[in-house]
Amino acid sequence: MDLLADHWLEALGWSGSALLVFSLMQQRVLRFRVLNLSAGLALLIFNALIQVWPMVGLNAATSAINIWFLVRLLGQRHDDHAFEVIEVGAADTYLQHVLRTHKSDIVRFQPDFDCRPDPAQDHVFLILRGDETVGVVVVRRVGVVAHVRLDYVTRRYRDFTPGEFVWRRSDVLCALGFRQVRTAPQTLGAYYDHLGFRREGDVHVLDLDPAECAERSAS
């Protein structure tokens, strides 16, 4: 029985250590915190069972830090003040840099997007968190309809939905005269279902209410 308990204890220690290493390989900020917290809690239990108290203190401290960051991150997930939407020109130099830097990742998710927005037809929005660019949205104007050409989030923030600040939390589209948003079939996902979009065949559609936009703008 003691031998079996020793095996389980050793497995817990190795599992916690492996999970800790794996967490350090994550680029997504939210996923990193969740995995690092899980590893810290496993190692806290392991070190408490073998009575290595300095390591218990260390794991307790790192777990508390991860919990603090997770509460903060989750609280900012849909916070209007956490992300900012800025419209830029389709030929903007910084935009071109962002698209070049993330081109391979963009093409992996939206192979139909050529990373060359059309200055005559496209509107481009950068989503920022502080001074960090976390997303790019490109829509093409067809009358009063905004057709989504790109809705991209950088890897670090892929567990968040910063694009929602263009669709639901910002009045920028209404101010430009758009009254409807339509996604491309290649951008389908549950993400849109939670933002008021409705399905029409193989696309998602969002109707923009000018009154609601004006109310958000005034608030």
Instruction: Look at residue 95 in the predicted model and tell me its pLDDT.
Output: 96
Instruction: Look at residue 84 in the predicted model and tell me its pLDDT.
Output: 87
- Return the structure tokens found at 31: 């996923």
Instruction: Look at residue 29 in the predicted model and tell me its pLDDT.
Output: 85
- Block means of pLDDT (10 residues each) for the chain, 219 residues, are 72 93 89 94 94 94 95 74 87 95 89 90 92 92 94 84 72 89 73 82 86 60
The tokens 């933002």 sit on which residue? 195
Instruction: Look at residue 61 in the predicted model and tell me its pLDDT.
Output: 96
CATH topology of domain 84-218: Aminopeptidase (3.40.630)
Instruction: Look at residue 175 in the predicted model and tell me its pLDDT.
Output: 87
- Return the structure tokens found at 10: 């050793």
Instruction: Look at residue 1 in the predicted model and tell me its pLDDT.
Output: 43
